[in-house]
Structure 1
């Protein structure tokens, strides 16, 4: 199976409600879709969202990186030599982790299709049903409480609460949600780098003193402030998650070495794809640390790939935050993983199992 052509398209899917964090507000998924064709007729799918505030990637940089740098080095290559393809993709240019992730997802999809097995099995795992949380966007207190109650009614047992704009109001938000949904629902706080270390400790101490015990707090301080992450981790009982602080295996090692977090959030778009995600998970396992797997605002193309990675490392990736498709008004992907509320079921089909993606606007060369 040899790579013969790479096509790019734009996928736009409106969200059910605006996605609001301390960093941005988004109203629809607008992702670049990669379609890799082969001489056997097999097609591999990948996807990359523009998340300039986090990865630095925009539509323009993703398109340029794939067309100008990555496509020329992989066209004509054999899918069977996955290690060589990963080396070519990662070595094509510096940075551009989302573009690299989209290409890796498509290549790994084809690699598992070549072997006629689901991707998770080629990665060392097996088919599974995994359970995701769902995001509660930062908003006024009443709206966030209503959104939380609705999510619980839909079957979600873990809520990822976006915070980080106003520490005092954030305490009110969390306490109101806790009072509304009860102690049986896990509250995962995500400040998206919006607090200082001192604010984080005050927020969590206030909540814990009031009997509210979050399951975790994700990236409370700026990504490069590892001193701040260490300060928080040493002073609160709530587990601290490193998200934007960890893009690479080297970042993961530094966070572990310094004791800057209790959990690492792996995202394919930060790690540059499946290969980097697996290396981070394996490094965490070697040091006795667990991981979460998350996503940006992505459709079920790349979320399917993340789900297969989670199924391949279930003892390490113990928390799942793959709700991107659930936030969309509809699923444009035919085949692939199956979503039913908080449940994501991997299917017994080769690769990612994607048959077609509706509504992709082909981008002219």
Structure 2
């Protein structure tokens, strides 16, 4: 089997508004706000008629992203086998470009093709079900087989920056929808960040765990104040995500020593070899990984092995993923060992999805497809409706 073509198309998908159930748009962050998100959908075709799908965010513009994929990566992989994923990952190189970011969508499509060709779901190709619920069930020697083979993966609810009084009802919505963890953005005003967490914690009577993500938006002293203020209020986050800028690992380690709030680098993990540095500096309690900057599922597997070997728990990041990348994340966290915390998601808040049968979010969880490959079908008509 050989790869014959790589094509990319961009869609712009709106978010459900804050006035709708589980709606989160506009989603405000330290860097701006999101009412909709451009997603690039990648299709890889083969000479045996089997095609696979991948997905990524736009880089600069849709045209630029599509060009790198079709004109840059496409010629490098065409004529080669989609089964040789690790060789392709190491072979693909474009000078001065973090090409792993783009190759990840092509790599995901290759996993989809291989699974379809072998009539196996991707999580089985990765070694089988190892998501937190499955690991716990097997370790406990579960009484019935149905429990031990559950394909449900729990996710964390994500919410943008809102005033404390507007955050309260959204925390209640998340709890009532079955989520146990809420991640909220931060970084524009550290004092309001504290008040927002306190308001939501009070609203749900401590029944939600919280993640606070300023996207590098705090200085070291502000991060100390936020963590200490929440400790004084008796609130202990599941983690503080990338509280200060990247490549400041000594400062991150000092912050970790001063607070009892777990520290979880995210953007730092996108940079090659930073995981080793973070581990050596003692700068993280949790790693927030992402298969796209890692170069795909195989790259994520390599990163997960590094972090697991260091005895550090890890989870998966959300980048406003539509159904294709959501499927890849489901298979990855289900099939790779060590993902012990719920991944983030905003999937519940899309106006629509490009899948013929969108995932259902039930009690804060989604089910890993058991059909071959990623186990999804893409609706070409929906793509045309939202195409950029």
Could you tell me how far 1:363 is from its partner in structure 2?
Answer: 12
SS at match of 1:356: coil
Structure 2 regions of 5+ residues with no counterpart?
17-24, 130-148
State the distance in 2 between where 1:253 and 1:103 align. Answer: 26
Q: Which has the higher strand share?
A: 1
Provide the aligned C-alpha RMSD in A: 2.1
Give the counterpart of 1:49 among 51, 54, 57. 57
Q: CA deviation at 1:61?
A: 3.4
1:68 positional shift: 2.1
CA distance in structure 1 between the partners assigned to 2:177 and 2:274 by the alignment: 36
**1:121 to partner: Cα distance:** 0.9
Q: Which residue of 229, 235, 245 maps to 1:206?
A: 229
What's the CA shift for 1:335? Answer: 4.7
> How much has 1:342 moved relative to structure 2?
1.4
**Matched residues in 1 for 2:197 and 2:36: separation?**
26
Counterpart of 2:120 (choices 112, 117, 122) is 117
SS of structure 1 residue aligned to 2:53: strand
Deviation at 1:59, TM superposition (A): 2.5
> Which aligned runs of 4 or more in structure 1 are off by greater than 6 angstroms?
none
Give the CA deviation at 1:81: 2.3
Q: Say whether 1:242 aligns with 2:250.
A: no
> Are 2:12 and 2:386, in contact at CA under 8 Å, matched by a contact in 1?
no
SS in structure 2 at match of 1:72: helix
**Matched position secondary structure for 2:4:** strand
> TM-score normalised to the size of structure 1?
0.92
Mapping of residues 141-160 of structure 1, within 5 Å: 141-160=164-183
How far apart, in 1, do the equivalents of 2:81 and 2:196 lie?
A: 53
Distance in 1 separating the partners of 2:90 and 2:250:
33
Which shows bigger deviation, 350-359 or 333-342? 333-342
Q: Structure 1 residue 326: deviation in Å?
A: 1.7
TM-superposition CA deviations, 1:10-56 (whole Å, max 9, x none): 12221012121112211112111001111222110001112x6xxxx
Task: Give the aligned partner of residue 351 of structure 1.
Answer: 373
* 1:37 counterpart = 2:45: yes
CA distance in 2, matches of 1:339, 1:262: 28
8 Å contact from structure 2 (residues 104, 296) kept in 1: yes
CA–CA distance in structure 2, aligned partners of residues 97 and 73 of structure 1: 13
Query: 2:280 aligns to what?
Result: 257
- Which residue number corresponds to residue 8 of structure 1? 8
2:335 is the counterpart of 1:327 = no
3-state SS of the aligned residue for 1:246? Answer: helix
